[in-house]
Structure formats: C-alpha cells, structure tokens
Amino acid sequence: MLDSIRERTHGWLAKVILALITIPFALFGIDSYFNNRGGDTTVATVNGDKISRQAFDRALKDQRAELSASMGASFDPAVLDDPKIRQSILDDLIKQQLLVGSAHKVGMVVSDAKLAKFIGEIPAFQENGQFSNTRYEQLLRQQGMTVGEFERRVRQELLLNDMRVAFSQSAFMPASVAKLFSAAFDQQREISSFKISASAFLPQVKITPAQIKTYYDAHQAEYSVPAQARFEYAVLSLDNMAQQIAVDDAAIKQYYDQNLAKYSEPEQRQARHILIAVTPADDAAKRAEAKAKAEQIFKQVSASPASFAELAKQNSADPGSAAQGGDLGWFPRNAMVKPFADTVFSMKQGEISAPVATDFGYHIIQLTGVKPAQARSFDSVKAEIKIELQKQQAGKLFADAAERFSNQVYEQSTELKSTAAALGIKLVTSDWIARKGGANAGVLNSPKMLQAMFSDDVLKNKRNSEAVEVAPNTLVSARLAEYKPASVQGLATVSAAIELLLTQQQARALAKQHGEAMLAQLKAGKEPGDLHWGGFQLVSRSHAESVPAALVEGIFAADEKLMPGYIGAADADGGYQLVRVTRVMPTPAPDAMKLKAMQGQLANIVAQQAFSDYLAGLSRVAKIDIKAAAIEKTAQ
C-alpha cells in the first residue's frame, strides 16, 4: 500500500511519454522510415517502394541510442560499423516495408475513429481522466514531433498489429493435441546414472614436445598478444578540485544554521490499516457497499482493538500489508496521499480512525508508533557540509578550468607537463593497456577515451589526445609514453599451457571411448564389472538437471516396452555419463485449466510460425534491390 500511494505522488508522466514517443522504428517509426525525402540516397527498393538513406541512418541512430542506454559506458559505438550489423538493420526495414505493402494490398486500413480512440486513451495525453488536445500537442512538441508525424506512426503500428492479431485469431489447436503435448511434457521416467570422470584417465596421457610444437604452429593466433601502450595522462575533475579548497569551521557552522531543515529528520509515524477497495470506475452502489463494510469493520476493531491485525489479514485489499496484519511500517507525512496522511498525523498513539476515503477506497487506520522530528547534530554533519561547500565553490571554478584544460592540451599538443602545472594537476602513467581496455585501464577505460588514445594522432603523431569527458565533471587527456606492437608469445612461454590443454583433451577422449565401450556392452546385455549405478531418481522434460542436456531426448525416446534402456553422452565436465532408464511413471490427466493454457500456448506458437512463414513468402516473391555501397559507413 505504501508503494502504491507513493506511486501516485511521483512524476511518472514524463517516463510514460518518453517511453511512448521515443521508441525506435520497431514500434512507431515505420511510416517516416519509408517516406523518401528530397536528396536522400536510396539504399534499397522493395517492390518499387524506396527505403531512403535517411531512413537507414535514423534506424542506425535508434539502434545506437538503444544500445547506449542499455549498456552504458561499456557500449562501443564502433560495433555499429560491423557490416553484418548494418545489413541486419536494413533487413529489418525491408521486413517492415513488406508487411506494410502487404497490408495495403489487401485493403487493410486503420480508421480515423480507431486512431483517435487509441491516442485518446493514452494516459500521458489526459488531464483529469479526459484527453487534452493542448497537452497532446505540448508533449509532442517537447519531443520534436509534429502531430501529423506521430499519428502516421501510430496508424502504421496499429495496422501491423491488426495483421498480427489476424494470424493469432486464426490459429487453432485441438484439445486432443494439447492433451498429448501436456502428457509428454509432464511424463516422468525413472533413471539411474553412472559418471566416468576424465580426470581418471590423466595418468595414462603422455604429451610429447613434438605434439606441443605441432599444436602451437597450428594455433598461433590463440597466443597472440594485441598491441599495448602505456600513457601519461592528466585528470581534471570537480571532485579533485573540491578537495583542494579550504573551508573554515565558521563557514560550515553558518551553513548548518541557515539550512537546519535540510539536516532534520521529519516526524514519522507507524500505522496499520485495513483497506476496503474501490476504483474510479465503480458506481455509487459499489462505493456505498464498500463504505458500509468499512464502517462495520470499524465497529469491530473499536470494540476489540487487539483484533485489528487479524481483521486486516481477513479483509484488507492491500496485498502489500494485509499479510503483515495491515502494518505499513514507518513513514513521513509526504509518503502518503493527503487524506490518509492528514488523518494519521492528527491521531494519538493507539487510536483507531473511522473510515478514511482516498482514491484507493476506505481505510480504517490504527496508529501504532510516533517518532518526533529530530535535527541531526552539527558534529554529525560537519564533514558532509564541508564536502558540500567545497563542491559548491569548485563548481564555480570548474567550467573555466575545463575550458583552459581543453584549450591547452590542444595548443600545447606535444607535452602535458605545462598544462598539468598550470592547473595544479598531477601527471600519472598508466599500466599497459590494449585497444579494448580493461579493468587495469582505470579512469581511461571508457570507449571514447580508448578511441582517442589509440588514434593515429596520439600513436603516430605523438600528440596529446583531446580532452575527453570520461564521467560527469571529469576530463582526461593522455599522450603516448611507450608502445608495444602486437606479437605472438613464444613457444617456451606457452608450452606448459598447451601441454595441459592437450592432456585434458586426450583424457576426455579416453573417457568418451571407455564410456561408449561400456554402453555397447550394456546394449548387448552385458553389464561391465566396473559399473556401479547410482540411486534411482525421477526426471521429466522440464526437470532433468542431473543429466546432460544431450541425454534428455534419449531418455524419453527409450522404448518403454524394452526397459531397461541405456544411453550415454559426454557431459559438461569433459567426462562421460551413462544413464539407465528403468520405467515410465503414470502421468495424471491435466486439469481443465492447465489443458486450456496448453492449448493457448500451442496456438500462439502456430500463429507465430504462420506469421513467420507469411513474411518469408512475401520475401521470396518480392522484388528487392539492395545497394550495398549505400549502407557502408559514412559520417552520421
């Protein structure tokens, strides 16, 4: 309940509208991606309809933004230079155009009424539960979109959704088939197993120097060391500047006195409640019924306050607190909606309120605790205030220092010492760093910084890198200190590692060979003397964690008329595992609800496959012309 009330008081609207109208082409962007604009270079044509270079570039930027948002600092923009990735993005655009063209060809349209209804029901565009045209236009303007562009995008997505729905509704799965699938999925079989460990064969393996040399010669790429470099670098950060600023105790005390409210903890209260829920859609009769029930419970708890927790468990519609007897824990006034908070903060400890109406329904509240407001002592916040004041003063200086830093590393590009001295920055020398970076790169380990450091200007021309913002209010410039080109480790260096690898490979091969020989004996009706089966266990297709995945289908393919059945396969540890299947357990008939769910799942699979086949069919007969040169990397 506390979380629900808080959610109503926070600005979720911005998140909704951003998510709604900044989603990339997979949701709304189809129409604008296929409308060619003057001057655009065509990258592909689909049945005569053009896909412009502008459309491709926008899709590429959407992909870049999505990856950057999901991966953060670890995202390397260069990944989108991969021809396979760029081709995949174009393939998606082609599929979208095929579907749009197909929908138009069969006369599918989205009416103005349907479009208006869909947009009108989007909460982000509503005020007081009603669609607001002013708010609609305002929010679209904030996102740099026109009403026409947005409505074309929504109309196209609704059209494609209608196509998907048509396939979904046409799919059918008979109950008899669903019953067979359910029985197969839930079937259990009794097995026992025996594991042959590869480690048992290690003493039998002898690797010669010639074998090591042969492997090394054939796999030198595995032992290559990428080019590495060490850099001298300077870091200008607001935090470092702040630490150098002196702040006296008098200034700290003055700030404390002027901002005492900031260092005070507001009054908190603890309460239980029983919620009799109503919704805005409930009519007057339902609301009256809920109110009457709340008043009846209020009489019960007033007569017996000790029963409050038990009645909350039995009657409260708040799933977050009902199981705890209605306990909401400690909360300040602003954590709750106003009617609830006003009541709680006017009560005395132990008091029980009459039903309080909020948007959620009617609450019977019992106040169980009070924590008065308390100010944190000066000594307890002194260090915190000092840091705050240092950052405030540093913030005023940082912009100027950042401009000086950026200018000087460029103007005096053959050395960093004078820049560092002028700004009071210490020069640092990095560890050896590869182009891809790594944990040892420290503050230098950002995609943009690594790209700058390994540029020709730094490596070949021996100049300072540009000043790169590697984190908020943190600029770095680096120059080459030492460089090691890519190389291949010598045989002597990697000989021991190769010997271990070959030993393990041969041990695994011996384990597999021994296991397959034992399996052949079992199938011939002979049980090897060194075979010791483990205990019996039941496995199903959904719960067979104890056996390698490669054995699961074999276990359930074993003929139940010829039990016991035997199968074997290599396991994840490099050994070999034998399994004996001894019997099939009776499978109970699925209940009606489970059978219906299985029907739905199978019908959905059939619909998805049909839709995929339909798209493949469109692709086979379509006239698609891709201009490969047009999608090569250019300045975006």
Interval 13-29 mean pLDDT: 35
Position 144 scores a pLDDT of: 67
For residue 87, the 8-state DSSP code is H
Q: Quick check: 42 and 53 in contact, CB under 8 A?
A: yes
> At 270, which helix (H) or strand (E)?
strand 268-277
Greatest alpha-carbon pair distance for the chain in Å reads 93
Each residue's pLDDT tens digit, 268-307:
999 999 999 887 778 888 889 999 999 999 999 999 999 9
Interval 571-577 mean pLDDT: 90
Residue at token pair 């730094």: 458
Each residue's pLDDT tens digit, 487-511:
999 999 999 999 999 999 999 999 9
Span of 67-81, 407-421, 509-523 with lowest mean pLDDT = 67-81
272 strand-pairing partners: 327, 366
Interval 108-122 mean pLDDT: 87
Residue at token pair 């008899």: 176
Contacts 24+ apart (CB under 8 A), 604-610: 604/168, 604/171, 606/171, 606/172, 606/173, 607/167, 607/168, 607/170, 607/171, 610/167, 610/170, 610/171
- pLDDT above 80 (res 62): no
Position 454 scores a pLDDT of: 95
State percent of the chain over pLDDT 70: 91
What are phi and psi for residue 336, nearest 5 degrees?
A: -120, 160
Interval 570-578 mean pLDDT: 91
The structure tokens listed for 154 are 């929504």
> At 327, which helix (H) or strand (E)?
strand 327-332
Higher-pLDDT residue of 92 and 502 is: 502
Position 569 scores a pLDDT of: 92
- pLDDT above 80 (res 4): no
Position 1 scores a pLDDT of: 41
Residues with Cβ within 8 Å of residue 309, at least 6 apart in sequence: 272, 325, 326, 327
Residues with Cβ within 8 Å of residue 482, at least 6 apart in sequence: 229, 230
Half-sphere exposure of 12 (CA within 13 A, CB side): 8
- pLDDT above 50 (res 30): no
Neighbours of 361 (CB within 10 A): 23
Interval 523-531 mean pLDDT: 90
Span of 128-137, 383-392, 493-502 with lowest mean pLDDT = 128-137
Instruction: Supply angle C-alpha 400, 405, 410, rounded to 5.
Output: 135
The structure tokens listed for 576 are 């070999």
DSSP helix/strand/coil, 434 = strand
Whether omega before 564 lies within 30 degrees of 0, making that bond cis, reads yes
- pLDDT above 60 (res 312): yes
- pLDDT above 80 (res 54): no
Confidence of residue 633 (pLDDT cuts 50, 70, 90): low
Q: State the Cα–Cα distance between residues 578 and 555, nearest whole angstrom.
A: 11
State percent of the chain over pLDDT 90: 47
Interval 378-402 mean pLDDT: 90
Position 6 scores a pLDDT of: 31
Position 23 scores a pLDDT of: 32
Position 520 scores a pLDDT of: 95
- pLDDT above 70 (res 331): yes
- pLDDT above 50 (res 18): no
CA distances to 26, 93, 99, 100, 218 from 161, rounded to whole Å, are: 12, 16, 11, 11, 53
Quick one: residue 432, left, alpha or beta (phi over 0 = left, psi -120 to 50 = alpha)? Answer: beta
- pLDDT above 70 (res 37): no
User: What mean pLDDT is reported for the chain?
Assistant: 85
Confidence of residue 630 (pLDDT cuts 50, 70, 90): low
188-196 sheet: strands from edge to edge: 537-540, 188-196, 576-584, 565-570
- H helix count then E strand count, the chain: 22, 22
- pLDDT above 60 (res 12): no
Closest to 400 (Cα-Cα) out of 478, 477, 479, 475: 475
Confidence of residue 2 (pLDDT cuts 50, 70, 90): very low
Higher-pLDDT residue of 22 and 161 is: 161
Position 150 scores a pLDDT of: 82
